[in-house]
Amino acid sequence: MGRDLLTPLSPVRRGLHTVEVARPLIVLLLGAPGTGKSTSGQLLARKLGVPWISSGRLLREAASRDERMARSIESGELVPDDVVEEALLQRLATARSGFVLDGYPRTVSQARDLLRFLQERASRITRAFHMCAPDDVLVQRLLSRGRGDDRPDVILERMRVYRLETEAVIEVLRAAGADVVEVDASPPADEVVRTLETALEGSG
């Protein structure tokens, strides 16, 4: 599926004429740890021809330079919004053709800041996907990848925090006019990506 099938057009006034220009393709992937956001996001971004931007990866890169942030991530705590935004919004500003955004926003404050950021650039969310899977699937996936911060107690804390925040985030996005679609993230990644592509074909 080519990017031209997915990119909505937006009327822009130029002199005495109104022309149609391609609006940036902006896709959000929301989901608890273990839903495969990173794998699906990278595959989808390659198919769409836009960058994959992961809040988690940006934070881990920052944590490698900041011991206090590293301890927060290891304990399952949310990193303060201002720290996340500084790392993320700078990166988003460079992605002029659009992006697949993995794991952001996670809080109401982040959602509002992202919407403001897009509004200032005359952009909007093409579609947001809420990736879902049963708890036992998520726990097994996280334990099997063997990362140092993937202990059972940390996993449970992440899920608890995620559930507390996500419903409110989705409400904010929907109130702003964003189309939020639930996607079953249990199947293999290539099947999940086909589902995401099919859903995007109807966006605009």
Q: Is 1.10.3720.10 the CATH classification of the domain at 24-201?
A: no
Return the SS3 of 59: helix
Distance separating alpha carbons of residues 91 and 55, to the nearest angstrom: 10
Question: Residue 20: its pLDDT value, please?
Answer: 46
Highest mean predicted confidence (pLDDT) among 34-38, 81-85, 148-152: 34-38
H helix intervals, 93-145: 108-120, 135-145
- pTM greater than 0.85 (yes/no): no
Residue 8 has pLDDT above 90, yes or no: no
Nearest to 131 by CA among 85, 92, 186: 186
Q: How many residues are listed for the chain in this entry?
A: 204
What are the tens digits of pLDDT across the range 179-202?
999 999 999 999 999 999 999 986
Question: Residue 203: its pLDDT value, please?
Answer: 65
Contact between 194 and 142 under an 8 Å Cβ cutoff? The reply is: no
